[in-house]
Amino acid sequence: MALRLEDKKQVVSEVAAVAADAHSVIAAEYAGLTVEELTDLRKKARDGGVYLRVVKNTLARRAFEGTDYECMREGLVGPLMLAFSQEDPGAAARVLKDFSDDNEKLNVKLISIGGELLDASELKRLASLPTYDQAISMLMALMKAPVEKLARTLNEVPGKLVRTVAAVRDDKQAAG
């Protein structure tokens, strides 16, 4: 069914608003997937904080104008599904990578993060990026490590003194 002009404008404005807030965008070919598989992918995307949308390429090109994802314009060819990472840069990559491991019919064609177009082979690397919570915990561990080491070092000085005094005492008792 053909879209009316008003519907096209609404789709473009919706996709442009999502693209403006997205951390990364992935375009993937979905031809050959069944309705059940697509429904499963959409459910996983919702759970993972990913906005998934099938949009005509001409409308997607218009929506990407003036955003960081304008670099994808030339690659928008054929039936593509767009996945926008809403929560963290690697969210869409994780969802699509996990899904494509089980379904070979989903092929990633374009990846863009921060206005830079990446090769489709970078999907695994992008999927391995830590989530926000993981990044915070890694940062906190790095910040906590020097303090813990200092506390252990300062604690070692009196401990060593006590062991030395105990050894001298034991020597005097053994000699006496």
What is the mean pLDDT of the segment spanning 31-46? 89
Calpha distance 67→109 (Å, rounded): 19
pLDDT in tens, 116-144: 888 888 888 888 788 888 888 888 988 88
Residues 6+ apart with CB under 8 A from 94: 48, 127
Examine the domain organization and report whether 111 and 60 are in the same domain. yes
Examine the domain organization and report whether 119 and 163 are in the same domain. no
Examine the domain organization and report whether 56 and 136 are in the same domain. no
Q: Are 57 and 12 in contact (CB under 8 A)?
A: no
Examine the domain organization and report whether 72 and 117 are in the same domain. yes
Calpha distance 89→87 (Å, rounded): 7
Examine the domain organization and report whether 143 and 120 are in the same domain. no
Calpha distance 138→80 (Å, rounded): 36
Examine the domain organization and report whether 125 and 145 are in the same domain. no
Q: 70 pLDDT band (50/70/90 cuts)?
A: confident
Calpha distance 87→24 (Å, rounded): 10
Calpha distance 11→59 (Å, rounded): 7
H or E segment to which residue 25 belongs: strand 24-29
* Tokens 């990913």 belong to residue: 50
Examine the domain organization and report whether 120 and 155 are in the same domain. no
% residues pLDDT > 90 (the chain): 6
pLDDT at 1: 54
Helices 91-102 and 35-47, axial angle in degrees (round to 10)? 150
Domain containing residue 11: CATH number? 3.30.70.1730
Domain interval for residue 156: 130-176
Residue 84, burial from CB neighbour count under 10 angstroms (0-12, 13-18, 19+):
buried
Examine the domain organization and report whether 145 and 119 are in the same domain. no
Examine the domain organization and report whether 108 and 65 are in the same domain. yes
Examine the domain organization and report whether 71 and 139 are in the same domain. no
pLDDT at 43: 93
Examine the domain organization and report whether 121 and 147 are in the same domain. no
Examine the domain organization and report whether 44 and 95 are in the same domain. yes
Tally the domains of the chain: 2
Conformational region of residue 175, where left means phi above 0, alpha means psi within -120 to 50, and beta covers everything else: alpha
